[in-house]
Structure 1
């Protein structure tokens, strides 16, 4: 636990140090002074509020799209029998074997033709496409653990498949759905390479691109970088604390069938 928490503690500690105390040797394990200079510079001299808002829009948008489409696809793979089902499942799995870096340039070329560069919509669609296969496979494993007899009883009573999926199966799979949603949100929140390639306009930067902009040619303001990183870390941490019970339950939702 200490090895996990220490990097976060050091990030917060360094973000509160003065510029002169950053490179003290031996290093201090407590702030030399609670200067908060880095936070003042970040909040007053950068557009971190806009970066966080853009990250929030992209993460929420891609999560909603991936969850809606992924739940439908996963339910179809888990419950229905049709020709080509195994091939479709293999194709979905194969997409995860291809490094995203290989796809960035072709996608960027397509985006130029569709005028999606320098837009948050382009980032939403890109993150949605990268997250969708994982959402499908995670939700399929969760749906496979839910007894099909429950749904068959509802079918006998005349319920439609859409009603069964939304009113019966999804409430049972809620912990797993929350875990998948958190994964997708954090995946969009932390994504850098695609956002750095597709977006060049400063007013469309997301948080990861904004953090990279602090790196200078001759000087790198580490106190400001770590102050911005601390602020950037808060939203996913708060989200996790709010739904941690569902998240922990969802981690094992697809581990055991029956």
Structure 2
């Protein structure tokens, strides 16, 4: 006979795994449907009721996208913009976060509040003023302009996320290095950052994906087709009378692969970094 406590534990375990499987299905199903629909064509795209399995295993949409569009160039532009903005945001954000976390100076609280306040303003409101500035600086239709824009949008988040991570690292470790004559730059780069590596990886992934998925700013600033990023390229498939959904979803599947591969490569550090700022001690 199974005891009441044992039966209750089994029931809770079964409920937990059912909920976990349901959440996993809800997360993965859109990706499956995108891939499944990219293999359908013609009337199969609009079959009602929709079928869970593809009616054909035809990869012609992928061939059309690769051969007839500049998707390779779009992916490269997205990669350059995402990596460039991530490097700049980390370089400036890590030092800014370290200053907010470790140093005491007049106006520190005000500065932190101003940085936080910038995130309360919708980026859509800033696009036109930034575009006007870009015209004056002659950096429209350039990847450099997109890098600077994504860097500006990501910097406040990077500062606040890294500050919460630095706050969890004991100051005593750095004080010991200061006694030995180490500079603050040496302490930050050689002692504190290696300890905060999981959190740094999580922030890097967030910043990279933020730049990879950005559309509105890229669509406004860049008009030259050779400077399009992936999100703008995907939007170009939508026509006035005809929209090739199979090609759109094939291109979307290709566009989704780099972030997924990046996450799989560094998921260990990313998962560790999610809770880096949760507990201080």
- TM-score normalised over the length of structure 1: 0.99
Partners of 2:87 and 2:55 in 1: CA distance: 44
Partners of 1:115 and 1:58 in 2: CA distance: 18
Partners of 1:162 and 1:45 in 2: CA distance: 50
| Per-residue deviation, 1:38 | 1.0
| Per-residue deviation, 1:23 | 1.1
> What's the CA shift string for 1:7-64, capped at 9, x where partnerless?
1000000011123311112211111111112111101110000000000000000000
| Per-residue deviation, 1:182 | 0.2
Matched, 1:200 2:223: yes
Partners of 1:255 and 1:218 in 2: CA distance: 51
- Any conservation in 2 of the 1:18–1:37 contact (CA below 8 Å)? no
Which residue is 1:52 aligned to? 75
Partners of 2:269 and 2:204 in 1: CA distance: 11
2:59 alignment partner, one of 27, 32, 36 = 36
Matched, 1:190 2:213: yes
Which residue is 1:90 aligned to? 113
Structure 1 gaps of 5+ residues are none
Matched, 1:209 2:232: yes
2:137 alignment partner, one of 103, 114, 124 = 114
Matched, 1:177 2:178: no
Which residue is 1:65 aligned to? 88
Partners of 2:185 and 2:280 in 1: CA distance: 23
Structure 2 gaps of 5+ residues are 1-23
2:185 alignment partner, one of 150, 159, 162 = 162
Partners of 1:17 and 1:231 in 2: CA distance: 16
2:260 alignment partner, one of 234, 237, 240 = 237
- Which structure 1 residue ranges, 4+ long, deviate > 6 Å from structure 2? none
- Any conservation in 2 of the 1:18–1:36 contact (CA below 8 Å)? no
1:246 alignment partner, one of 248, 255, 269 = 269
2:65 counterpart SS class: helix
> What's the CA shift string for 1:69-115, capped at 9, x where partnerless?
00000000000001111111011000000000000000000000000
Partners of 1:35 and 1:232 in 2: CA distance: 19
| Per-residue deviation, 1:123 | 0.0
Partners of 2:266 and 2:63 in 1: CA distance: 31
> What's the CA shift string for 1:156-180, capped at 9, x where partnerless?
0111100100000000000000000
Count of aligned positions: 258
Q: Which has the larger radius of gyration?
A: 2
2:56 counterpart SS class: coil
- TM-score normalised over the length of structure 2: 0.91
1:103 alignment partner, one of 121, 126, 143 = 126
